[in-house]
Amino acid sequence: MTTNTSKAYILISTLFSAYFSIGVANPALANDTELKGNQVQFSITESQNVPNDSISMTFNRVAEGTSPQAVANEINLQMQAAVRALKAYPDIITQTTQYNIHPVYKKQVLSHWRGQQSLVLTLENKPGLVKVLTKIQPYLAYQSMQFSVSDALQDKIL
């Protein structure tokens, strides 16, 4: 029997024994109402330290211009250049998100247009991450980074 299994067995045995010794075996402590059956509920939690093997990095590009088309062209050119720079890394999953363009007003008069688009990179957490950052930063601004456990590692552990 493994250590975790034996701990779970001891916990279940203890709870089971405590339940029956209080409510069933000792009539003085039992409720005055007639028992209609026994109910046993268990809640077992197990945890394990797992390394974060996946990183999601978000970069964005903000542009301003005199027209929505000029803003869209600037954003699209920079996004395309960033994605091209990442072609050398086939293990990196890229996804563009949150594309929007909106007017900017000053004193209730249209001043200019502003737009933004984000690029999310998902990659394995390993040395050499700085290389990826240096390839993208000429085109996009760093926004955030999140570490997580990949689906493959979760499946392997569970």
Domains and CATH numbers, the chain: 1-47 (no CATH), 54-157 (3.30.70.2970)
Q: What is the pLDDT of residue 35?
A: 61
> Tens digits of per-residue pLDDT, 50-85?
888 889 999 999 999 999 999 999 999 999 999 999
Across the range 100-128, mean pLDDT stands at 93
> Tens digits of per-residue pLDDT, 134-147?
889 999 999 999 98
Residue 123: strand, helix, or coil: strand
Q: What is the pLDDT of residue 33?
A: 59
Does the pLDDT at position 1 exceed 90? no
Task: Enter the pTM of the model.
Answer: 0.65
Q: Say how far apart CA 86 and CA 132 lie, in whole Å.
A: 8
**DSSP secondary structure string for all residues of 19-76:** HHHHHTS-TTTS-SSPP------------------EEEEEEEEEEEESSHHHHHHHHH
Identify the bridge partners of residue 60 per DSSP, sorted by sequence position: 118, 141
Q: What is the pLDDT of residue 10?
A: 52
Radius of gyration of the chain (CA): 29
